[in-house]
Amino acid sequence: MSTYDLLLRDVRVVRHDRPDAEPVDVAITDGRISRVAPGIEAREAATVLDGQGRLAFPGVIDAHQHWGIYNPLGEDTASESRASAQGGVTTALTYMRTGQYYLNRGGRYADFFPEVLAACEGRSHIDYGFHLAPMMREHIGEIPELVERFGVTSFKIFMFYGGHGLHGRSADQNSFLMIPDDERYDYAHFEFVMRGVQAARERFPDLAAQISLSLHCETAEIMSAYTRQVEQEGRLTGLEAYHASRPPHSEGLAVSIASYLAHETGLPNVNLLHLSSAKALDAALRMAEAFPHIDFRREVTIGHLLADITTAHGLGGKVNPPLRPREDVEALWAHLLAGRVDWVVSDHACCKDEVKFGQPRDDIFLAKSGFGGAEYLLPGLVTEGRRRGLPLSRVAALTSWNPARRFGLAGKGAIAEGYDADLCLVDPDSAWTVRAEDSESTQEYTPFEGFDLTARVTDTFVRGAHVLVDGKVTGDPQGRYVARTAR
């Protein structure tokens, strides 16, 4: 009888806490890593795979995706989890809320969230969990039940929704958000959400370290005024116009407001999402200095690290916050290399061509916001990171260890004994060009079209299941919902 179910031989394991990749073998039993050591005997394993000296990264935990925002949730779960596996992603944490888009309904999460789980069950090729957004007063009261019953420990505020639409200006946000007419999605609501999240931390002290609030930091009033100005002047077009309509200081102001509210409410666990500009990072660092008792975590996306308003392929690069000029990209990299960024995500939101673009097709303000990119997350970060001197250990921390610890994924985030056998093999010297047609996503375009990468994910394993084999997704869906509550 074999000791191990699977043995990966001749791989170079990348760890978040060791400077160099280590040539070892990795043994897997019952979906967990049972041994990491050189020279494990092949006869001890039921199946042996030769890693051919490739890098073995801990499976990517993509802590920011949006399944079901533009397509039926069940369809997105199937197709976009396949695309995720192409990028080495083994766990996706996807944002979900009531209101228009997603399930296109309002109401209590007690009724809404079981439908979310049912739509995803049995369809995903990777493990998955959810962050939930308390959109109305009743949702705040549901936070303890969401923690205890469903294992949801992370929540979100979209700071601009109260006075600005998902894609541009909006006249009726209550209808868009599907909240009661006598309620407002505004700074007062944000404060009460923070108080509700902090109350949950106090109610569940064993989970307090992983109960956190994430914020999309943009300011509705600034964006509405600048959108009107950009449209009236008519000088700018495309991604440059969208960048100008949602200026970087809008991010900085929102970061500052959110930070003081966190201070006021005593909420210490705050995640600042997809910071896209030098001004946003500057504000985030100033707030960390002003409020040292708040444990801020700072997130950037692979899109904002790879593309700018001139290099992205067409208006498919419209996203919130916008892609920025090259100087902002360089600022993000400077902060990342200096250790001031905590994790890198995709912000994957599959938006098919027929949905993405309005008529006329070249009007940036008629296009929908968001695009996919999970399939390029690890290859893109390794490619550009190596060029800039980013150690592989930092890649492992940014894509796996750090988000796992923050979001309560206790058994994930490292290639180590006792952890889930979530890992991917990467050829660091495989040159290829991004083509949308090669992606498993149902999105027919990508803003990264034509980008040249020098690292490729060849194989992905989810709890030991070989879901990506030689670059191709294979087998039936193996993913499970991950409840992040101690049992």
Q: What is the 3-state secondary structure (H, E, C) of the chain?
A: CCCEEEEEEEEEECCCCCCCCEEEEEEEECCEEEEEECCCCHHHEEEEEECCCCEEEECEEEEEECCCCCCCHHHHHHHHHHHHHHCCEEEEEEEECCECCCCCECCCHHHHHHHHHHHHCCCCCCEEEEEECCCCHHHHHHHHHHHHHHCCCEEEEECCCCCCCCCCCCCCHHHHHCCCCCCCCCHHHHHHHHHHHHHHHHHCHHHHHHCEEEEECCCHHHHHHHHHHHHHHCCCCHHHHHHHHCCHHHHHHHHHHHHHHHHHHCCCEEEECCCCCHHHHHHHHHHHHHCCCCEEEEEEEHHHHHCCCCCCCHHHHCCCCCCCCHHHHHHHHHHHHCCCCCEEECCECCCCHHHHCCCCCCCCCCCCCCCCCHHHHHHHHHHHHHHCCCCHHHHHHHHHHHHHHHCCCCCCCCCCCCCECCEEEEECCCCEECCHHHCCCCCCCCCCCCCEECCEEEEEEECCEEEEECCEECCCCCCCECCCCCC
CA distance 480 to 444: 27
pLDDT of residue 2: 84
For residue 167, pLDDT over 80 is answered with no
| Better-predicted residue by pLDDT, 164 or 64 | 64
pLDDT of residue 179: 87
Is the CB of residue 9 less than 8 Å from the CB of residue 48? yes
Tens of pLDDT, residue by residue over 380-391, are 999 999 999 999
Domain boundaries defined on the chain? 4-50, 59-407+431-453
Least confident range of 148-162, 297-311, 329-343: 148-162
pLDDT of residue 74: 98
For residue 247, pLDDT over 90 is answered with yes
Dig out the tokens for 472 from the structure: 């191709």
For residue 164, pLDDT over 70 is answered with no
For residue 376, pLDDT over 50 is answered with yes
For residue 33, pLDDT over 90 is answered with yes
Q: Does domain 59-407+431-453 have CATH number 3.20.20.140?
A: yes
Dig out the tokens for 371 from the structure: 């695009």
pLDDT of residue 166: 56
pLDDT of residue 176: 80
pLDDT of residue 171: 54
pLDDT of residue 487: 42
Q: Mean of the per-residue pLDDT values for the chain?
A: 95
Structural class in CATH, domain 4-50: mainly beta
Segment 219-222 long-range contacts (CB within 8 Å, at least 24 positions apart): 219/159, 219/160, 219/250, 219/251, 219/253, 219/254, 219/257, 220/159, 220/160, 220/161, 220/162, 220/163, 220/164, 221/163, 222/247, 222/249, 222/250, 222/253
Q: Which residue has the tokens 């097709």?
A: 361
Per-residue pLDDT band at 169 (split at 50, 70, 90): low
Tens of pLDDT, residue by residue over 455-484, are 999 999 999 999 999 999 999 999 999 999
Least confident range of 166-180, 373-387, 397-411, 468-482: 166-180
Tens of pLDDT, residue by residue over 84-113, are 999 999 999 999 999 998 999 999 999 999
pLDDT of residue 165: 55
